[in-house]
Structure 1
Amino acid sequence: MINPTQVETESLEEQNKKLLKIQHALEKKVSQLKDFAGIITHDVRGPAHNISKMLEMYENTDDPELKKASMDYLKKISNDLTNNLNELIQILQIHLEKDIPASDCVFEDVINSASLQLQDIIQQKNAVITMDLAVTNILYPKVYLQSILYNLLSNSLKYTKPNIPPAIHISTYENEGNSYLSVSDNGLGIDLNKFGHLLFKFQKSFHSGYDSKGIGLYLIKNQIEEQGGSINCTSEPQIGTKFTVRF
């Protein structure tokens, strides 16, 4: 004989499971929306600044060659920024009903795109960027990979020692079935004994006198962990910093 109380209890348990599943799905969507808001407000600042600088250069010179070079650069960075924003818009239109789609990303293409957006500071500081890409492609949400590389490169270019050109090395490799990305530099470094527990916290910065909102590392850590990966850092003050992403 079926016990009505038992049936009612089982029914409540099933309902609770469904509610928890819905709650987790909603929490994931809210997290994704926050990520996209962060990407738009944070990652667009650099390209927008570069466009402003190029326009200023274009307006303040009478040299035809410099004007042409400025306009060519403006076209490239404008097209790149437009493409990135279009991808964000497309994903925003569908992500409320689906997970963020992964696509076949070519590391070199994404690195070149990020470098183009940061071209102004690369030239200003005579930065040298080298690559060793043992893993050439990865199936990953492109908008996240763009954000990860842009933010890591931006940090390496921003926190540099006076009169020493930044030397940045980007590598990809496989280990025990996982793909890895590392970005290392010869910059100011971070005192991890002092700041390690705050490294990926929201609105935390570790060097005074720099235009930093303390958002980038927090943002990419959430993006990476949402996809099941992790990020860690090794660093020494006045020696440099290395970030390693496990996808």
Structure 2
Amino acid sequence: MSEANDEPLPPLDLRLTQESLDDLYDHAPCGYCSCLPDGTLVKLNQTLLTWLGYTRHELVARQSLQQLLTVGGRLHYESYAAPLLLLQGQVRELSYSLRRKDGSGLPVLLNASLLRDFDGLPLVVRVTLFDITERRKYEQELLRAKAEAEAQREQLALVNEQLVAKNEQLLRLNADLDNFVYTASHDLKQPINNMAGLFEELKRTATFHDPTAANMVGMFEQALQQILGTIAGLTEVVQQQRQIEHLPVEAEDLQAFTEEIIRSLQSSTEHEPAEFTLDFAAAPRLRMARPALHSLLYNLLSNALKYTVPGRQPHIRISTEWANGEILLRVQDNGRGIDLQRHGQELFQMFRRFHHDVAGSGMGLYLVQRLVHQAGGRIQVESTVGQGTTFRVFLPQ
């Protein structure tokens, strides 16, 4: 024998070996009953009697198993369970509700087996019943949660349909607006050009003796140039939008692409010499239609150069990084900045300008936001007056 088998067994309470089989039957954690083939009850354990609230005398030989069931359960038992018992001798896990003496219901799972005599005739049906009150509550809670989820799903589907319809409506309105803007700017362009030509001829041939005439002529010329700039800006926005919609999306090398834009800006004499810092190590390539990316960077960088602080060398930093599956393109300058508390709501609106001493049409930021939204991205702005502005452009890849 092994050393383990030589160890003495722990002492046992001998009362555990003296349990009565009748006591085990009567106080089992489930209900037991026996009935004749017609359902007449002949024996029940105390557990089942306690559940139902009956005495043994009230049920044995006086009621049948079917009478303990609800009307629907009785019909199911007689039409399904009883024939199945005769056919195969047992049924398993049938869900019924027992009627207690006080009229309340008790959900149970029923298992039953049929015993036959020596001649093969049905003798007795032994039934085991399990209380599934908690299980039924859990199932009802699941059904309630499922119904609520289904209602929410239907509500979300309805809301989604409404959003799709509104989005389609907005797309149609946007397209109509673009067509209107394009048509209006095109139709206005020729009369305004004719007016400008006539005004130039008037300045060349006419003589003005009024000392205030020269000032008025200058004001008229300035207004005329503003109208021409507005028409040109409107035409550019619509034309660029239409062109980009049909262009392929390509992965552009940001270093070379940005350097090319910087060279074109530095060749212009209207901008202060600036120091540029490029850092594209985290995300060196960006997928976007080439003209859209060019317009996006060109407008941000040209604004950074235009709105510099006099006497301060412009320092512009352009960088990228990954942010939750998107590329964050950051353009930061040390220029005049924008009072976002006053102008934040109108920052990207058409023709909005916040530094009127600097020439511009007020179309640049409007076009930037439109290009970003068209690419499925978003844009954020941080700015401090007198210190500079940072544009953060998030673009999906």
One fold, TM greater than 0.5?
A: yes
Residue 129 of structure 1 pairs with residue 276 of structure 2 = yes
Question: Match for residue 171 of structure 1?
Answer: 319
2:247 corresponds in structure 1 to: 100
1:30-69 matches, within 5 Å, as none
Distance (whole Å) between structure 2 residues aligned to residue 32 and residue 128 of structure 1: 41
Contact 1:190 1:206 in 2 (8 A): yes
**What is the Cα deviation at residue 25 of structure 1?**
7.1
Could you say what secondary structure the match of 1:118 adopts? helix
Using CA pairs below 8 Å that are at least 6 residues apart, which structure has the higher relative contact order? 1
Report deviation, 1:120.
3.1
Does structure 1 conserve the Cα–Cα contact (< 8 Å) formed by 2:266 and 2:273?
no
The correspondence for 1:149, drawn from 293, 297, 303, is 297
Q: How far apart in 2 are the matches of 1:33 and 1:100?
A: 23
- Counterpart residue number, 1:192: 340
Partner of 1:119: 266
SS in 1 for 2:367: helix
- Secondary structure of the 2:267 match is helix
Q: Deviations over 1:14-59 (max 9, x none)?
A: xxx99x9699479569759989xx9xxxxxxxxxxxxxxxxxxxxx
Structure 1 CA distance for aligned equivalents of residues 180 and 325 of structure 2: 30
Question: Compared with structure 1, are the counterparts of its residues 208 and 167 closer, same or farther at alpha carbon in structure 2 (3 Å cutoff)?
Answer: same
How far apart in 2 are the matches of 1:228 and 1:129? Answer: 28
Aligned partner of 1:183 in structure 2 is 331
Greater share of residues in helix? 1
Residues 31 and 229 of structure 1: CA distance in aligned 2, closer, same or farther (over 3 Å): farther
Equivalent residue letter for 1:243:
F
CA distance in 2, matches of 1:203, 1:213: 6
Deviation at 1:193, TM superposition (A): 0.5
| Preserved contact between residue 319 and residue 330 of structure 2 (Cα < 8 Å) | yes
Deviations 1:159-218 (A, max 9, x none): 011111100000011011111101000000000001111100000110121011100000
The C-alpha deviation readout for 1:124-167, integer Å capped at 9, x for no partner, is 52200001112111221111100010000000000011111100
In structure 2, distance between residues paired with 1:111 and 1:122? 19
CA contact 1:188–1:238 (8 Å) conserved in 2:
yes
**Structure 2: runs of 5+ lacking an equivalent:** 1-163, 186-238
In structure 1, C-alpha distance between the alignment counterparts of 2:170 and 2:366, rounded to whole Å: 23
Equivalent residues, number: 174
8 Å contact kept, 1:122–1:157 = no
- Using the alignment, how far apart are the partners of 1:181 and 1:234 within structure 2? 14
* Of 127, 140, 162, the match for 2:288: 140
Q: Between the two proteins, what is the percent identity of the paired residues?
A: 32
Q: C-alpha separation between the residues in 2 aligned to 1:26 and 1:131?
A: 40
1:238, distance to aligned residue in structure 2 (A)? 0.2
Asked if 1:109 is matched to 2:256, the reply is yes
1:233 equivalent in structure 2: 381
Distance in 1 between the 2:289 and 2:252 partners? 8
Shift of 1:100: 3.2
Secondary structure of the residue aligned to 1:217 is: helix
TM-score relative to the length of structure 1: 0.62
Q: Partner amino acid for 1:114? A: I
Question: Aligned residue for 1:10?
Answer: none
Give the AA of the match of 2:256: D
Partner SS for 2:302: helix
Q: 1:238 to 1:222 in 2, by over 3 A?
A: same
Letter in 2 for 1:177: G
Distance 1:29 1:132, change over 3 A: farther
* Unpaired runs of at least 5, structure 1: 1-16, 39-87
Alpha-carbon distance between aligned partners in 1 of 2:294 and 2:385, rounded to the nearest angstrom: 27
DSSP-derived class of the 2:293 partner: helix
Q: Counterpart of 1:220?
A: 368
Q: Distance in 2 between matches of 1:32 and 1:102?
A: 25
